Structures are given as C-alpha cells and as structure tokens.
C-alpha cells in the first residue's frame, strides 16, 4: 500500500463514518430512529416516503476487498430503495491492483461517486482513502472494527426489548472487530457490557482505555458464565475472522467460549442471542441456541438494511436529514 505525502482533502465537514466513537450519542440515536421510521414506511406501502426517493441522482460505491453477503446486499438494496444508484468495485479489478495510489484512487472516485463504502483487510487503507476523499467514506468492516453491524444489533435489541440504555449485554469469544464496535456502541448508547474472552484474545487495550475515559460500563473477564449473569443479550462471532489465520490452537483456546444452552440458561429470563453472521454451528454457537426462540440473528441481518438507510440519510441527506424519517 502506497501512502502519499502530497496535500490531502482539507474539507472537514464531510460525514465520514469510520467508527461509532466518532459520532456523538444524539446523532447515533437519530440515525437509528430515522432508520426505524424508514423501515416502517418501507413495510407499509400505503405511506408515501418523504420525499419518495431522497437519494435520487446519488451514487454509492461499494469497494470490497473481502467477501461479503450482508454488507454488500444491505448497502445495495438500501441505496436503491432510497432512490440512489450503486457501483460495486472489486479492488483486485481496479488499477490499485497494479500500483495506482490510494490518494489518486480516492480523488478519482470522488469525481464520480457521492459516497464510498469500504471493506478492507488493512485499516490504514480506509484511513488513507478518508484522507484524500472529498466524498464521505463509510467503514464496511476492517480488522479493527465493524460499526454498521452494531447499529443493526442495537436496532434489533430495541425492537425486541425496548430502550437499550441501561440494559446489560455479554460478549463471548474472540475480542475481535465486532467486539470493539460493540464496546463503542455500549458507551455511546449507554448500556453495560461484559466481555468474556481468552486472555490472549482481548479487545485492543486502546479501546478499553477509551471506554473507561468516556465513563463506559465495560468489564473484561475470562469466565463466560460470570459474563452472562443478568445479561439481556448475548453476542458472539466467528472464532476465525477474515483477518485471522485459522489454527487448531486458536479453536482450542476458544472452545470453552461456545454459546450453548447451558450458558444461555445462566443469563436473564428472556435473553436474546445475536451473531453478526456468517455463523459456524458447533464452534462459537450450538445449533440448539442458533435455532432457538432466543436467537434473533435473521432480524439482526435484516436490520443491517434499515439501520444503514438511516446512516446513508445522515451521510448524504444534508441538514434536514432527520426529516426523511417523517411521512408527508
Ligand atoms: N455481518 C456481516 O457483515 O456479514 P457479511 O460479511 O456477509 O457482509
Ligand atoms: N469478525 C468477522 C465478522 C464478519 C462479518 C470477520 O471479521 O471476519
């Protein structure tokens, strides 16, 4: 990856979305509320959208260096439902693959597109694109975070259980990119979170320090049973993320962190089970839990669409973006 030293974009009002911590709590709350209203309008076709296609004439670029089902589909469908267009870009088919710099790529894409969603195996790549881009750049997953996933998770929790503020969640397993964004989400949305991870797979210290400085109620332990005590929502994820090397050592280390029925029974009555998907049944979660009434994983997948429509309206909707969630 080439990092340029010439002058980057100096526009500071661009609504990039790199991490949840970059936005204040009120804006994040509004994004979810707009997403929820737009979901209700989409599902009730008798109510006209206001205006019918708020993002007509805008084009979203999806630049995906890693595989994706939900992120690709939810951004494509969401942008089209809002009246906009989509261009899917595979970096291996672009001139980046032959050495064109990210600085030049970002400046060219900025001349064609209105927003760029990026999934990358290198966090520095998205930072460099942001540096040079004069259009908003949205994080569609890096090895360090997955913030759009957590917007969908919180929307899903609230649909099932009411306001998330004051609730208690547990994260079981690898302290990975999704766990990091869940920590940031817990701080910004005001819920407490206990993470049980192996000693060698803790979330990075920097995010724990940030959460502490923000007054977040985040606890890191290594005992899954203790972590789920009183939890209203239990979240896990794959034991081998796209940026990890699969190994027997890794899987053996994580085996005591499987979410199974015995663990679910230690949590609060009515506890939800969440997983960003794709799931690996028999590893991080048993089939019994995955297919149980507690599991809301497909609501969670669908809500990627609705939460991200709220996000796209914030990113592209200008000063009146909140009004798009209101019928005429
Ligand atoms: N949860 C999620 O981001 O799924 P994809 O990898 O399919 O996009
Ligand atoms: N932690 C997983 C999330 C996939 C959506 C990964 O990075 O592969």
Q: Is 237 touching ligand 2 by the criterion CB < 6 Å? A: yes
Q: Is 242 touching ligand 2 by the criterion CB < 6 Å? A: yes
Cis omega (within 30 of 0) on the bond before 278? yes
Q: Which ligand 2 atom sits nearest the alpha carbon of residue 242?
A: 8
Q: Is 178 touching ligand 2 by the criterion CB < 6 Å? A: yes
How far is it, in rounded angstroms, from Cα 143 to Cα 141? 7
Q: Is 241 touching ligand 2 by the criterion CB < 6 Å? A: yes
Centre of ligand 1 from the C-alpha of residue 274, in Å: 13
Q: Is 276 touching ligand 1 by the criterion CB < 6 Å? A: yes
* Mean pLDDT confidence for 206-232: 98
Q: Which ligand is nearest to the CA of 149?
A: 1
Per-residue pLDDT reduced to its tens digit, 244-286: 999 999 999 999 999 999 999 999 999 999 999 999 999 999 9
Q: What residue's CA is closest to ligand 2, atom 1?
A: 241
Q: Is 126 touching ligand 2 by the criterion CB < 6 Å? A: no
Which pLDDT score is estimated for 150?
99
Q: Which ligand 1 atom sits nearest the alpha carbon of residue 71?
A: 8
Per-residue pLDDT reduced to its tens digit, 182-209: 999 999 999 999 999 999 999 999 999 9
Centre of ligand 1 from the C-alpha of residue 177, in Å: 12
Q: Which ligand 1 atom sits nearest the alpha carbon of residue 276?
A: 1
Per-residue pLDDT reduced to its tens digit, 49-99: 656 789 999 999 999 999 999 999 999 999 999 999 999 999 989 999 899
How far is it, in rounded angstroms, from Cα 37 to Cα 324? 9
How far is it, in rounded angstroms, from Cα 34 to Cα 28? 10
Q: Which ligand is nearest to the CA of 305?
A: 1
- Write the secondary structure of the chain as one string of H (helix), E (strand) and C (coil): CCCCCCCCCCCCCCCCECCHHHCCHHHHHHHHHHHHHHHHHHHCCCCCCCCCCCCCCCEEEEEECCCCCHHHHHHHHHHHHCCCEEEEECHHHCHHHHCCCHHHHHHHHHHHCCEEEEECCCHHHHHHHHHHCCCCEEECCCCCCCHHHHHHHHHHHHHHHCCCCCCEEEEECCCCHHHHHHHHHHHHHCCEEEEECCHHHCCCHHHHHHHHHCCCCEEEECCHHHHHCCCCEEEECCCCCCCCCCCHHHHHHHHHHCECHHHHCCCCCCCEEEECCCCCECCCECHHHHCCCCECHHHHHHHHHHHHHHHHHHHHCHHHHHHHHCCC
Of 69, 146, 179, 250, which is best to mutate to test ligand 2, by the most ligand atoms within 8 angstroms of its C-beta?
Answer: 146
Q: Which ligand is nearest to the CA of 69?
A: 1
Q: In terms of pTM, does the model score above 0.85?
A: yes
Q: Is 70 touching ligand 1 by the criterion CB < 6 Å? A: yes
Which residues form the catalytic set? 119, 146, 149, 237, 276, 304
pLDDT bucket at 112, cuts 50 / 70 / 90? very high
Centre of ligand 1 from the C-alpha of residue 70, in Å: 5
Which pLDDT score is estimated for 248?
96
Q: Which ligand is nearest to the CA of 174?
A: 2
């Amino acid at each position: 990856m080439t990092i340029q030293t010439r002058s980057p974009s100096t526009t500071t009002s661009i609504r990039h979305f790199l991490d949840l911590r970059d936005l204040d709590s009120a804006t994040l709350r509004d994004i979810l509320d707009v997403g929820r209203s737009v979901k209700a309008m989409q599902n009730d076709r008798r109510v006209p959208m206001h205006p019918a296609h708020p993002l007509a004439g805008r084009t979203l670029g999806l630049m995906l260096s890693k595989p994706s089902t939900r992120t690709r589909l939810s951004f494509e469908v969401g942008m089209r439902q809002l009246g906009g267009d989509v261009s899917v870009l595979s970096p291996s088919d672009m001139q980046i693959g032959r050495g064109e710099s990210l600085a030049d790529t970002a400046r060219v894409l900025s001349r064609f597109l209105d927003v760029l969603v990026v999934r990358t195996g290198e966090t520095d790549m998205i930072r460099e694109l942001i540096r040079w881009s004069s259009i908003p750049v949205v994080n569609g997953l890096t090895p360090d975070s997955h913030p759009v996933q957590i917007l969908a998770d919180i929307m899903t929790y609230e649909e099932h259980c009411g306001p998330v503020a004051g609730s208690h969640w547990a994260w079981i397993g690898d302290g990975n990119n999704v766990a990091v964004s869940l920590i940031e989400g817990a701080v910004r949305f005001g819920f407490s979170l206990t993470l049980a991870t192996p000693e060698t797979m803790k979330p990075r210290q920097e995010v724990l320090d940030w959460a502490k400085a923000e007054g977040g109620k985040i606890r890191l332990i290594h005992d899954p049973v203790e972590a789920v005590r009183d939890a209203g929502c239990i979240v896990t994820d794959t034991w081998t993320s796209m940026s990890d090397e699969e190994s027997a050592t890794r899987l053996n280390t994580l085996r005591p962190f499987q979410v199974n029925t015995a663990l679910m029974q230690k949590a609060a009555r009515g506890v939800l089970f969440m997983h960003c998907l794709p799931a690996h049944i028999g590893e991080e979660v048993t089939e019994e839990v995955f297919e149980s009434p507690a599991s809301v994983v497909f609501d969670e997948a669908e809500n990627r669409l609705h939460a991200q429509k709220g996000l796209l309206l914030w990113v592209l909707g200008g000063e009146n973006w909140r009004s798009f969630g209101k019928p005429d």
